[in-house]
Amino acid sequence: MDADKDNILEASARHPKPAGNFQYGTAGFRMKANLLDSVVFRVGLLAVLRSKKLNGQTIGLMITASHNPPEDNGVKLVDPMGEMLEQTWETHATTLANAPSDEALFAAFAKLSSDLKVRMDSPARVIFARDTRASGITLAASLVDALDALKAEYTDYKLQTTPQLHYLVRAINTKGTPHAYGEVSEKGYYEKIADGFKLAMKHRQTKGHVVVDCANGVGGPKLREMTKYLASANEGGIDIKVVCDDVVNPQALNVQCGADFVKTQQRAPPSSKASPLERCASLDGDADRLVYYFIDSSNTFHLLDGDRIATLTASFFADLGRASGLIDRLNMGVVQTAYANGASTRYITENLQLPVICTNTGVKHLHHAATRFDIGVYFEANGHGTVIFSAKAIKEINRHEPRSPAQADALETMKSLVALINQAVGDALSDLLLVEVILAHKNWGVQEWLNTYVDLPNRLVRVEVRDRGIFKAVDAERKLEAPLNIQKEIDDLVGKYSKGRSFARASGTEDAVRVYAEAATRGEADELAAKVAAIVQKYGV
């Protein structure tokens, strides 16, 4: 520890902490890039500690601020199986990030390593990557300074999507085991997904092309790369038209395009030249979120968001379960948050007859709940999600003896989807191909997909209050237990609206309270949202 002490103190002096309080939030640390130097350095120290604690398993570190503006950046850690960092360690990250001086930082580091019984002579391995933000290169250098100070082994994977980094972490840590996830390289990532796609598309064909807006981020070059591993549509592959892929000008990132723009603005990027019924999709800045959309023959815009991807995917797996004869052996379910449109929840429970779990916001909560199913489909309405398979599901799928050619076909498709789907984390590129496979199997276009159910009109508003901390949510964030009496006022109001549903909760990523409302008509949804927002405002002064 003494040698570490000198090294940490010396290196930390090059990365002084600015004023302010930092918090490892829903998506790691995220803020203006010029405030992040010390944070990234310190998260690097924690990554080393985490790897040592786990006997040298590889930990991932991603430098990205996803859909935030170009001048922001962020950092998050990836655990050995490609999952998000274990929650108790988020607190440790926050502790290190806020140590007021180099000495205090070392003291906090030493205390953590002793409290957590980390063997400092264990090896430490870290891999890292970044999105296309201009600040990413300097921040990666701050990270390397931390890794060098503690003599950790590391690999810089440079530009990658967030899900690619998760893939690499999982592939490294499962290499040579019976659960080997795939070859440890970017090429291995494309090959695994493309092989799954090709198998799933046997005897099927995609209809026309899909236009993909890449938010002018890292998803652009990576999607182009992936297309090299896929055949064109007339050879059983897919025609992908990549747009909004300007990564030369970093200022263009997420501006007037990308999944967050499309979802929150409920419209196509202004640069879109889509014609009626043309299939369009948008990724976010680090390519872990995906939404689809189209304009119909009367030029009306329709969004096919995370709820739609969840319902489409769940219905397809239910079909495959029945067709393969595995339906009774595997339990299947969907995980959503309170932001899921009520019509989607109803469609899943009533039409698909599948259970739905509602969790707190943040994919780690959804992912965790989805592990309760053998085949768990989870998506946030904003387009972040995936499907995960239990060990039992994989075993059943691999050993089941089909009793007919139809069963064999369904089983083959299931196997190929296990390869195609990025089970470590929601992945826009893998989700895109998953949707394309399902549409091809169902022989559907976007209109048929939309026709499965009718969304309830809804409204999401942001309310700024003095202290959002006083709003304490319970029941998967659908109710407020504090301030006292606020929930009763909201309930009384909601009761007056046909198909009314509304809730308020403090955002985990922004200094605001979010209010969501849905009702039978657009006018009522807007009115309900405005009135609940007024209640929040009243309690928030």
Give the catalytic positions in this structure.
Answer: 66
Total residues found in the chain within this entry: 541
Rounded Cα gap, residues 323 and 328, in angstroms = 11
Query: Residues 4, 307, 374, 380: which binds ligand GN1 (CB under 6 A)?
Result: 380
Q: Which stretch binds ligand GN1 (CB under 6 A): 47-55, 238-246, 355-363, 437-445?
A: 355-363
Residue 286: which of Mg ion, ligand GN1, none does it interact with, CB under 5 to 8 A by kind?
Mg ion
The distance of closest approach from Cβ of residue 285 to ligand GN1 in the complex, given in angstroms and rounded to an integer, is: 11
The distance of closest approach from Cβ of residue 479 to ligand GN1 in the complex, given in angstroms and rounded to an integer, is: 16
Rounded Cα gap, residues 490 and 503, in angstroms = 8
Question: Are residues 124 and 152 in contact, defined by beta-carbon separation less than 8 angstroms?
Answer: yes
Compare residues 257 and 439 and give the one whose CB is closer to Mg ion: 257
Among all chains, which residue has been given the structure tokens 């949510």? 473
Residue 163 engages ligand GN1 in binding (rule: CB under 6 A): no
Q: Enumerate residues 6+ apart whose C-beta is below 8 A from 403.
A: 325
For residue 93 the two structure tokens come to 């990250």
Residues forming contacts to Mg ion in the complex (CB under 5 A) are: 66, 284, 286, 288-289
288 is in an annotated binding site: yes
58-63, strands of its sheet edge to edge: 29-32, 72-78, 58-63, 125-130, 153-159
The distance of closest approach from Cβ of residue 382 to Mg ion in the complex, given in angstroms and rounded to an integer, is: 9
Compare residues 415 and 468 and give the one whose CB is closer to ligand GN1: 468
Residue 131: which of ligand GN1, Mg ion, none does it interact with, CB under 5 to 8 A by kind?
none
Compare residues 382 and 458 and give the one whose CB is closer to Mg ion: 382
Compare residues 123 and 508 and give the one whose CB is closer to ligand GN1: 508
Question: Are residues 152 and 125 in contact, defined by beta-carbon separation less than 8 angstroms?
Answer: yes
526 is in an annotated binding site: no
Residue 258 engages ligand GN1 in binding (rule: CB under 6 A): no
Burial class from Cβ neighbours inside 10 Å (0-12, 13-18, 19+) for residue 271 reads exposed
540 is in an annotated binding site: no
Q: Enumerate residues 6+ apart whose C-beta is below 8 A from 219.
A: 161, 212, 245, 283, 284, 285, 286, 287, 428, 429
Compare residues 52 and 514 and give the one whose CB is closer to ligand GN1: 514
Residue 509 engages ligand GN1 in binding (rule: CB under 6 A): yes
134 is in an annotated binding site: no
The distance of closest approach from Cβ of residue 64 to Mg ion in the complex, given in angstroms and rounded to an integer, is: 7
* Binding string, residues 13-52; x marks residues near ligand GN1 by CB under 6 A: -------------xx-------------------------
Question: Are residues 53 and 80 in contact, defined by beta-carbon separation less than 8 angstroms?
Answer: no
Compare residues 340 and 440 and give the one whose CB is closer to ligand GN1: 340
Query: Residues 192, 368, 514, 531: which binds ligand GN1 (CB under 6 A)?
Result: 514
Q: What is the DSSP letter of 25?
A: B
The distance of closest approach from Cβ of residue 414 to ligand GN1 in the complex, given in angstroms and rounded to an integer, is: 28
For residue 351 the two structure tokens come to 């039409």
Residue 380: which of Mg ion, ligand GN1, none does it interact with, CB under 5 to 8 A by kind?
ligand GN1
The distance of closest approach from Cβ of residue 165 to ligand GN1 in the complex, given in angstroms and rounded to an integer, is: 16
The distance of closest approach from Cβ of residue 69 to Mg ion in the complex, given in angstroms and rounded to an integer, is: 13
Among all chains, which residue has been given the structure tokens 């939404």? 291
376 is in an annotated binding site: no
Largest CA distance in the chain: 71
Rounded Cα gap, residues 341 and 339, in angstroms = 6
Rounded Cα gap, residues 539 and 535, in angstroms = 6
Residue 502 engages ligand GN1 in binding (rule: CB under 6 A): no
* Binding string, residues 102-131; x marks residues near ligand GN1 by CB under 6 A: ------------------------------
Rounded Cα gap, residues 70 and 91, in angstroms = 27
Compare residues 416 and 502 and give the one whose CB is closer to ligand GN1: 502
Q: Which residue is nearest to ligand GN1 (CB)?
A: 508
Question: Are residues 212 and 243 in contact, defined by beta-carbon separation less than 8 angstroms?
Answer: yes
Encoded amino acid at 243, one letter: V
505 is in an annotated binding site: yes
Residue 362 engages ligand GN1 in binding (rule: CB under 6 A): yes
408 is in an annotated binding site: no
Are β-strands 356-359 and 332-337 bridged in parallel, bridged antiparallel, or unpaired? parallel
Q: Enumerate residues 6+ apart whose C-beta is below 8 A from 451.
A: none
Question: Are residues 463 and 523 in contact, defined by beta-carbon separation less than 8 angstroms?
Answer: no
Residue 339: which of ligand GN1, Mg ion, none does it interact with, CB under 5 to 8 A by kind?
ligand GN1
Residue 461 engages ligand GN1 in binding (rule: CB under 6 A): no
Compare residues 26 and 344 and give the one whose CB is closer to ligand GN1: 26
Residues in contact with ligand GN1, total (CB under 6 A)? Answer: 13
For the beta carbon of residue 13, count every other beta carbon within 10 angstroms: 10
For residue 39 the two structure tokens come to 């944070």
286 is in an annotated binding site: yes
Cα angle 263, 268, 269; round to 5: 100
Encoded amino acid at 380, one letter: E
Rounded Cα gap, residues 489 and 512, in angstroms = 20
Residue ranges that bind ligand GN1, judged by CB under 6 A: 26-27, 339, 361-363, 380, 382, 507-510, 514
Show binding-site residues for substrate.
Answer: 380-382, 505-509, 514
Show binding-site residues.
Answer: 66, 284, 286, 288, 380-382, 505-509, 514
Show binding-site residues for Mg(2+).
Answer: 66, 284, 286, 288
